[in-house]
Amino acid sequence: MTLRVLCVFLLSGWLSVSAAALPIPENGPALRIQGSNTIGAELGPALVEGLLQEQGLLKIHRETPDTANEQRIVGQTAQGQRVIIEVAAHGSSTGFTALKNASADLAASSREIKDSELLALQALGDLKSPAAEQVIAIDGLAIILNPANPLQQLDTEQLARIFAGEVKTWEELGSRGGAIHLYARDDQSGTYDTFKELVLSRRGKSLSNTAKRFESSEQLSDAVSADPQGIGFIGLPYVRQAKAVAIADGASQAMLPLNSLIATEDYPLSRRLFFYLPPDSRNPWVQALAAFAQSHQGQAIVAASGFVSQTVQAMSVAPNALMPEGYQSLSRHAQRLTVNFRFAEGSASLDNKARQDLARVLDYIKRNGKTERAVTLVGFGDLKDDPARADLLSKLRAMAVRRELVKDGVVMREVRGFGALMPVATNSADEGRIKNRRVEVWVY
């Protein structure tokens, strides 16, 4: 739904500011957002400010009520009427609870909605539909240490044992410093949920009760920076003065949380940040904010806020001996786009983010004159008993993306499958296998 269509969607109790503007409520906030602290601390308010500016509102500013981790973003119409949008950032799970009890219009989440939450909210419509589940940015969970710690990399197995309290000293990891001090986000946090899913639960472990817990990302990061024995996990914009280490998962190479590796979701602890929109919502500000977040202006705000935008760019990849020869040749002559297409769990269908990315990739291809035999699709998969089957499935995934691009007039140069080569995650868990089932886009 376009913003102009939304603008004529006037509800009883709302006042129209002008023919091109969203309606303003006579009383109360225009929009209530609850959920993730990762989003709500800065990114959410910044996107709201961008939308208010687009709407032509004046004197836009933030107000901080007495409650911690809550903000009001306020603008003013030319006639002097205040427009208020409320943002409460107490953790991803609180956003879904607020949708259920009707105290929020939109949920911000730094992890995917859980099956139990989908069930609890089914009266609002299908929150897994493409219109309801909106990926607004990509983030990476950084594993942070005190800058004086000489350790340079860890793998996810080590991380699980560290945060479960099984590895108790830095010396056990080949470093120095004595006892390990653990720092973690609180139980309401999507950051914690993501770490638990990607690292702890996958290995049947739980967070040690010795970990110091924080609702605030900034406070956690600063605490690790001040503790020579500390280790914590945090969203990418909140590394601050701490030191991030490279992370490996299974047979993947150790990777630092670099923007290019997070944009493609190859970095082992990359994650998606979401807006969840109730499909039956009658508040036009909900769809307008989601549409703004997906726009070029919105994605520029994502990048300025320290997260990784979904704006498609081309990047050079240096060939190395660990790559198959065909992939080395590709990297010598073409550039890779900063997006990977992934697939819904247990399905050959593109997931919701991939459907959003199709439009972005098409826009890049057309703007840069790449519609005629300048695009190569490269498919990858997870390990199979029969390597030939893995090769076939990887190429079929690339063909699924090809079908979508061909509909808009893109003539491919080549479609290739590399099977289970070059994994970016362990194949011993469902989450890792899903990450390995991917399609890269290369342009000449």
Q: Residue 9's pLDDT is what?
A: 34
Is pLDDT at 6 greater than 70 in this prediction? no
Q: Residue 308's pLDDT is what?
A: 94
Q: Residue 347's pLDDT is what?
A: 62
- Domain range summary for the chain, segments of one domain joined by +: 3-132+277-304, 139-261, 312-443
139-261 folds as D-Maltodextrin-Binding Protein; domain 2 (3.40.190)
Q: Which two three-digit tokens encode residue 353?
A: 């983010």
Label each residue of 55-98 as H, E or C.
CCCEEEEEECCCCCCEEEEEEECCCCCEEEEEEECCCHHHHHHH
Is pLDDT at 3 greater than 50 in this prediction? no
Confidence category of residue 444, pLDDT binned at 50, 70, 90: very high
Q: Which residues contact 431 (CB under 8 A, 6 or more apart)?
A: 197, 198, 202, 425
Q: Which two three-digit tokens encode residue 365?
A: 């291809």
Tokens 């493409």 belong to residue: 130
Which position has the higher pLDDT, 437 or 346? 437
Q: Residue 267's pLDDT is what?
A: 94
Give the CATH number of domain 312-443: 3.30.1330.60
Q: Residue 345's pLDDT is what?
A: 67
Question: How do 243-244 and 230-235 pair as beta strands?
Answer: unpaired
Is pLDDT at 4 greater than 70 in this prediction? no
Is pLDDT at 16 greater than 50 in this prediction? no
Which position has the higher pLDDT, 390 or 36? 36
Mean pLDDT, the chain, integer: 91
Element (H, E) at 289: helix 284-294
Q: Residue 431's pLDDT is what?
A: 73
Largest Cα–Cα separation, the chain: 69
Q: Which residues contact 172 (CB under 8 A, 6 or more apart)?
A: none
161 vs 196: CA distance, rounded Å: 12
- The closest of 15, 17, 62, 66 to 42, measured between CA atoms, is 62
Domain 3-132+277-304 and domain 312-443, same fold? Reply is no
User: What's the whole-number mean pLDDT along residues 23-27?
Assistant: 90
pLDDT > 90: percent of the chain: 80
Question: How do 31-35 and 82-88 pair as beta strands?
Answer: parallel
- The closest of 388, 296, 401, 391 to 348, measured between CA atoms, is 401
What would the pLDDT profile of 209-230 be if each residue is shown by its tens digit? 999 999 999 999 999 999 999 9
DSSP character string of 264-283: TT-STTEEEEEEE--TT---
Domain 3-132+277-304 has CATH 2.40.50.100: no
